[in-house]
Structure 1
Amino acid sequence: MSASTSTTPTKIILPDLVSHCDFKKRVNRHRKQITTETKQWLFKGGNLNGKKRDAFHGLKAGLLTAMCYPNAGCPQLRVCNDFLTYLFHLDNLSDDMDNYGTRSTADEVLNSLYHPHTYRSSARVGKMTRDYYKRLIITASPGAQQRFIETFDFFFQSVTQQASDRKDGLIPDLESYIALRRDTSGCKPCWALIEYANNLDIPDEVMEHPIIQSLGEAANDLVTWSNDIFSYNVEQSKGDTHNMIPVVMNEEGLDLQAAVDFVGNMCKQSIDRFVDDRANLPSWGPKIDHDVALYVDGLADWIVGSLHWSFESERYFGKTGREVKTTRVVNLLPRRV
């Protein structure tokens, strides 16, 4: 559909990202157990009711966790699943602090992470944070703990910025959006969980190496930008513009389908970037190389796992995910008034 036609598009065709990604899809054998345990943990004390409970079941976070951390032992997988589920529900869990916006939630969470044994607060989001983090620090390396907290801090800073942009009706330029989205995605703390889930203790100078950083960024970009494509329909129906597709339409002057294709190509390039970087990893000696290979495999698990999960979850396509995965056709929802 060209930009000059006045008719509003009724559907979009998704890029074929699943075929472009030939990484092996793996699923952790503890998936069912941790799904049940996390559900009990999340619902304790009436945290979520009615529609929010249904949304939890439709989310299938346990499947995402099991595909992204396929080799984790059961206790580690449970912590990862608690964290991912909590991340998806962070808005709901901090409802009682909505009046203060994201900053008060950030204070609760970060105080709970920096002082898990001494910080006391009655807010449920703080209690849940302390609960999973106390379990994480039993086996996580000091470096993984530090990276988890630092990147989660960046997440809250960027979410606060996003809330401010949304309030002002701002559509950022593409470069600013990409920089912000790498933190609002919440991927970076999940990369620290790869270290934790696989019992890795990789030196800081290795984790800070440009190629390791570039691999993490390529994986983040693929997970995040593909998520913008998959979530576009639900978001446009709510009038939410914090998505790469409207950003590209605005900056490049493209119509909707052309913008979807543009972002799709960027996703494919991020997979190609990852493959190139992986082939060019330097060597740090047998022990570190072994751990680095496991970490990089973990990033690849996230790329392939998130792509397949997006069509299994009901978050983006309701009950039609598998059909959309085959046809790649998404019928656009009407704009909510």
Structure 2
Amino acid sequence: MRPELAVPPIYSPIPPAIHPSHPAINAQTTAWAEAIGIGSDELRDRLVQHDIGTFAARVLPDGREAVIGILSDFVLWLFGVDDGYCEEGELGRRPGALMAALQRLLRIAQNPEAPMLLDDPLAGGLRDLQRRISQHGSVGQTALWVNALREYFSTVVWEAEHRSTGTVPDLNDYTLMRLYDGATTVVLPLLEMGHGYVLQADERDQKPVRAAAEMASFIITWDNDLFSHHKESRGPGYYLNVVRVLEHEYQLSPSQALDLAIAQRDRVMRLFLRLHERLLPAASPQLRQYLHNLRTFIRGAQDWGISSVRYTTPEDPASLPTAFRETPTDTSDKPLDIPAIAWWWDLDLLAEPHLAGATQAAGSPPSPRQRTA
């Protein structure tokens, strides 16, 4: 058995927040999972103990309760796929068969009326989620969600290939795939729906905005790897985690790899905060809200990660922090030596064209948002 790693308090300058209806959202997700029949009885009983409604309420602490409920149900559904299909099921070691199964689910997300998988609880849950997302989001936002689901599916198949061969990817490939297989990008359209606005493509697709979203994904997934390392490494099967990747990449001890992973996420956190502040003055009200919720997404994942029984594993307690630190362990402004993301540091942020929208003082709260039709 691998030696236990004690995760120290990590750098988190973003303040915590939570929607006041989180107990009701948690209860609703438990009822939804039971009604849909997500996963086996054992898996479902485990998932509903993970306080997923609280996670969703932290991601959108000032959002619309109905959308927070969708997010909570969707995250539980994702765990049903990840735990049931990919990590614990036979498909997790058969990438071709897994791809076929996930493509069938993707067709349900695209066309829920398709007469397929009519007795499959995961498909039934996805039909319900697609219907609710379509009600609360625009056609374009629903399409963004489906496309992000496609990205997520493709990367978990990539992971299944490594699981089937017992191999460890290099750091660059792992970083690139982790931006998607952590399912962070699938949440991004729900950030907009949570406040009833549409972020226009000429803002969302600007390089600095795309970089900010990718940095948020990096921080969230690196943090998740830190918090989940105990659970994953103590299990009987194959696992893929940034600590293991860094050990393999640089021939490090587990504790050295842990320290390096923390330094990497600290450096990206500092870059994210600088970029966030530079984007705010020229941002539209919609972009300001989006950037605000990238921050709450990061902090919400951190608060949930150190408190959910999914990672604290009370039956074999993980050594996780109970608080956060105010200063980073790494204060360098140099790019990380990871080609897939090095371009984040290449952005000449001050020279970028002004983004569309009204200019506001950087410290002011988000303005009223444009509602979707």
Same fold (TM over 0.5): yes
What does residue 142 of structure 2 align with? Answer: 145
Partner of 1:256: 254
- Comparing 138-147 with 68-77, greater Cα deviation is found at 138-147
- What corresponds to 2:242 in structure 1? 244
Structure 1 distance, partners of 2:242, 2:82, is 21
SS at match of 2:123: helix
1:327 and 1:145 mapped to 2: Cα distance?
36
The 1:260/1:282 distance shift into structure 2, 3 A limit, reads same
Name the aligned partner's letter for residue 110 of structure 1.
L
Contact kept, 8 Å, 1:97 with 1:105, in 2: the verdict is no
Rounded to whole Å, the distance in 2 between the matches of 1:145 and 1:168 is 36
TM-score of the pair, normalised by structure 1: 0.86
1:334 corresponds to: none
Q: Which runs of 5+ in 1 are unaligned?
A: 1-7, 329-337
Residue 159 (structure 1) shift = 0.6
- RMSD over aligned CA atoms reads 2.5
| TM-score, reference length from structure 2 | 0.78
SS in 2 for 1:12: coil
- Which residue pairs with 1:4 in the alignment? none
Q: CA separation in 2, counterparts of 1:76 and 1:133?
A: 12
Q: 3-state DSSP class of the match of 2:5?
A: strand
CA distance in 2, matches of 1:272, 1:220: 14
CA distance in 2, matches of 1:127, 1:46: 9
1:14 aligns with 2:7: yes
Name the structure with the higher helix share: 1
* 2:47 maps to 1:56: yes
Amino acid at match of 2:278: N
1:74 equivalent to 2:56? Answer no
Give aligned-pair identity as a percent: 19
The answer on whether the counterparts of 1:113 and 1:149 sit within 8 Å (CA) in structure 2 is yes
Alignment of 1:1-337 (within 5 A): 10-17=3-10, 20-44=11-35, 46-48=37-39, 50-91=41-82, 98=91, 101-122=97-118, 123-238=120-235, 239-281=237-279, 289-319=284-314, 324-326=320-322
Whether the aligned pair in 2 keeps the contact of 1:313 and 1:321 (CA below 8 Å) is no
Aligned residues: 316
The whole-number CA distance in structure 1 between the counterparts of 2:306 and 2:144 is 30
SS in 1 for 2:49: helix
Take 1:97 and 1:9, find their aligned partners in 2: how far apart are those partners? 24
How many angstroms does 1:260 deviate by? 0.1
Q: CA deviation at 1:58?
A: 2.8
Deviation (angstroms), 1:108: 2.6
SS at match of 2:135: coil
d(CA) in 2 for partners of 1:232, 1:89: 19
Higher relative contact order at CA 8 Å, sep ≥6: structure 1 or structure 2?
Answer: 1
Tell me the residue number matched to 1:333: none
